């Protein structure tokens, strides 16, 4: 039976193609806000980091009402590192809006999200966005979308549906059109097409209750909240329900509160019917994949499988000489408690304490995925240190090691293509496709995840900042040889003092500095990168000898190049196995794991290592 008064749609797109802006305009068109209400842009990106980075990290549900029909809209992340969110939430949808930039066309991570939508057999409507942008080519973008769907195994019926249901839009200017040149100035053609063409949920209203939890929210007041779609039956507040876990175990529970989505918020209700998306309070320790069903007539649903993490990092309490200067929370116990709380709320990460209790290992889908958690914790006042991210290997069952392989795409001016190909070759990558364009070359590679670390900066350097680089997890493949070693050595501070301009002036001839005059440094801290291999210990506090004779150059000021600064992701990619990143609310510093030069030498002797 079709629930004609409900539509469940997901919005899928590559990073920065305008998903969240389009949702803003749909909300405005359906009068979600008062006429005089001040509304911030990208209202769904409610998380601070989402707003600053300009990306969607968490999938979110809203609902709008149009022509008496409730449209549940699911905004999905476009970045592959947050793919765990995408895979699950698409289970709630019957259709998807594929949003594509009219100038850029479908990009690598469009492929990633679209492949999951096609695998779920969703009806796909194409929205060509930014048609008013310079260089826009809506016709080519549409053809590229259809080609991509064909490559990903879409059926003839799915391709035909996508060809017949195309909308041309400019989300930032608030209009959608069935023809790019028809002059329409509002969003109603898009909303009309969703209502008229998107399939209504096909459900069994009279059957036993079956609801599957695909997202877990958390409240300090009521604990875990299970959010998912109701596939059959009706759920009421106060109902006794059977909870079937992914592993097959069963337990009884009671629905204490029930909510449905209402524009940007949730509305408490007494019942929710099949086809709708609901939030259930009262199921303790609910998890992704849990099925809420009728105890007398239990319904079985397929368990939800999430792609496993591909990279891990160890969090430790800070042992820096400057510990406690910036942050309020520095203890190992508080760090462990915070990460264990994250384990409760974040099912896409695997968080486990190390057997020797020295730290907590956090595994995720990529460096961006891990760094979002680190950034959140430093904003909460934590000080901690993390080691170099390491790739998680698998065994193929025959004693052979497999490692994660990424699909990487670089778009750059043709004059730099040779240098980019050389970089990938040195990092274990193999080129799989090359398309030469008038302005840009399009290069595709398969490369081990280990080889990707630190590659973005090197690509930007050889292309003078003109390259666009994307990558996402593809598969597990045979283990490559040794990869990812930093070519140049580091400059390491020999003392705990503030950096002095005179000393830095002499050191900058040897490489690139990471610190400026007056910066707090300590023994073992990385203060720069040499222009040659091999680490050196340097004195960053050396001052000029003052004699009683006047020098002809005495009044010439030291000319310093601004120091190189690192984002959190760049620092994680830069460090080597014997180094750490120290993270505080105000600073990101890189340091050696063993701070003392004498102790480092002893360690190298014990392990049979010698400096080059």
Confirm or deny that 130 is annotated as ligand binding.
Answer: yes
Residue whose entry in the numeric block shows the structure tokens 């239990």: 298
Q: Is 20 annotated as a binding residue?
A: yes
* CA 394 vs CA 112, 363, 398: distances in Å: 22, 14, 11
Using alpha carbons, select from 262, 265, 277, 194 the residue that is nearest to residue 231: 277
Nearest Cα to Cα of residue 137 among 177, 111, 104: 104
Could you tell me which of 449, 472, 424, 411 has the C-alpha nearest to residue 14? 472
> CA–CA separation, 77 vs 498, rounded Å?
43
Asked if residue 16 belongs to a known ligand binding site, the reply is yes
Residues near 547 by beta carbon (within 8 Å), at least 6 away in sequence? none
Terminal alpha carbon distance of the chain:
73
Structure tokens at 191: 């909303």
Relative orientation angle of helices 188-197 and 19-29, to the nearest 10 degrees: 90
CB 265 within 8 A of CB 33: no
Residue 496 and residue 568 in contact, taking contact as beta carbons nearer than 8 Å:
no
Quote the CA–CA distance of 377 and 343 in Å, as a whole number. Answer: 14
C-alpha distances out from residue 554 to 109, 174, 406, 541, 561, Å: 57, 63, 55, 19, 20
Place of tokens 């797109």: 13
Distance separating alpha carbons of residues 4 and 274, to the nearest angstrom: 12
Contact by Cβ (8 Å): 279, 226? yes
55 assigned ligand-binding residue = no
129 is in an annotated binding site: yes
Please give the DSSP secondary-structure letter assigned to residue 82: G
**Does the annotation list 584 as a binding residue?**
no
Q: 577 in the Ramachandran plot: left (φ > 0), alpha (ψ -120 to 50) or beta?
A: alpha
Token pair belonging to 363: 């595994």
Is 247 within any annotated ligand binding site? no
19 is in an annotated binding site: yes
* Torsion, CA 599, CA 603, CA 608, CA 610, rounded to 10: -40
CA dist 432 and 446 (Å) reads 7
Question: What is the spatial distance between Cα 91 and Cα 288, in angstroms, rounded to a whole number?
Answer: 12
Burial class of residue 309, CB neighbours in 10 A (0-12, 13-18, 19+): buried
Q: In the numeric block, which tokens belong to residue 565?
A: 């600064």
**Residues forming beta bridges with residue 240, ordered by sequence position:** 254
3-state secondary structure 348-388: CCEEEECCCCCCEEEEECCHHHHHHHHHHHHHCCECEEECC
- Stated as kind and residue range, the H or E segment containing 452 is helix 449-452
In the annotated binding site for GTP, the residues are 16-21, 129-132
In the annotated binding site, the residues are 16-21, 129-132
């Amino acid at each position: 039976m079709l629930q004609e008064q409900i539509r469940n749609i997901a919005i899928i797109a590559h990073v920065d193609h305008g998903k969240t802006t389009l949702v803003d305009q749909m909300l405005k068109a359906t009068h979600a806000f008062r006429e005089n209400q001040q509304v911030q842009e990208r209202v769904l990106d409610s998380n601070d980091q989402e707003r600053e980075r300009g990306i969607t990290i968490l999938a979110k549900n809203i609902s709008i009402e149009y022509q008496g029909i409730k449209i549940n809209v699911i905004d999905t992340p476009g970045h592959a590192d947050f793919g765990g969110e995408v895979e699950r939430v698409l289970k709630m949808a019957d259709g998807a809006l594929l949003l594509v930039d009219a100038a850029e066309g479908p990009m690598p991570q469009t492929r990633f999200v679209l492949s999951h939508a096609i695998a779920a057999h969703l009806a796909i409507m194409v929205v060509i966005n930014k048609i008013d942008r310079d260089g826009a080519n809506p016709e080519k973008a549409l053809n590229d979308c259809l080609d991509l769907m064909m490559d990903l195994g879409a059926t003839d019926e799915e391709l035909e549906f996508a060809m017949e249901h195309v909308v041309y839009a400019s989300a930032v200017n608030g209009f959608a059109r069935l023809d790019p040149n028809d002059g329409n100035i509002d969003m109603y053609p898009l909303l009309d097409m969703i209502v008229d063409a998107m399939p209504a949920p096909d459900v069994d209203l009279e059957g036993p209750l079956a609801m599957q939890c695909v997202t877990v929210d958390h409240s300090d007041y009521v604990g875990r909240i299970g959010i998912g779609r109701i596939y059959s039956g009706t759920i009421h507040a106060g109902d006794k329900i059977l909870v079937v876990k992914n592993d097959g175990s069963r337990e009884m529970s009671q629905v204490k509160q029930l909510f449905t989505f209402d524009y940007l918020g949730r509305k408490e209700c007494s019942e929710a019917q099949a086809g709708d998306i609901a939030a259930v309070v009262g199921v303790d320790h609910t998890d992704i994949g849990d099925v809420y069903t009728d105890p007398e007539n239990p319904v079985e649903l397929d368990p939800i499988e999430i792609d496993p993490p591909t990279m891990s990092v160890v969090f430790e309490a800070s042992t820096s000489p400057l510990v406690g200067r910036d942050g309020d929370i520095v203890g190992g116990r508080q760090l462990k408690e915070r990460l264990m709380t994250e384990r409760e709320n974040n099912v896409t990460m695997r968080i486990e304490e190390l057997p020797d209790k020295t730290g907590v290992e956090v595994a995720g889908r990529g460096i961006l995925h891990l760094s979002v958690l680190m950034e959140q914790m430093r904003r909460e006042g934590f000080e901690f240190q993390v080691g170099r991210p390491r790739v998680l290997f698998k065994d193929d069952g025959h004693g052979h090691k497999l490692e994660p392989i990424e699909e990487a795409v670089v778009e750059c001016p043709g004059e730099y293509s040779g240098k980019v190909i050389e970089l990938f070759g040195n990092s274990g990558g193999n080129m799989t496709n090359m398309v030469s364009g008038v302005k840009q070359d399009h290069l595709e590679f398969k490369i081990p995840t280990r080889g990707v670390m630190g590659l973005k900066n090197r690509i930007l350097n050889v292309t003078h900042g003109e390259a666009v680089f994307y990558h996402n997890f593809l598969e597990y493949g045979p283990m490559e040889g040794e990869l990812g070693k930093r070519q140049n050595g580091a400059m390491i501070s020999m003392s705990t003092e503030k950096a002095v301009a005179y000393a830095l002036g002499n050191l900058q001839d040897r490489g690139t500095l990471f610190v400026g005059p007056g910066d707090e440094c300590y023994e073992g801290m990385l203060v720069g990168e040499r222009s040659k291999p091999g680490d050196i210990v340097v004195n960053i506090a050396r001052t000029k000898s003052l004699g009683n004779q006047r020098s002809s150059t005495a009044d010439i000021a030291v000319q310093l190049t601004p120091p190189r600064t690192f984002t959190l992701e760049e620092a994680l990619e830069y460090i080597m196995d014997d180094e750490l990143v120290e993270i505080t609310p105000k600073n990101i510093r890189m340091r050696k794991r063993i701070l003392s030069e004498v102790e480092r030498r002893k360690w190298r002797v014990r392990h049979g290592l010698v400096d080059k």
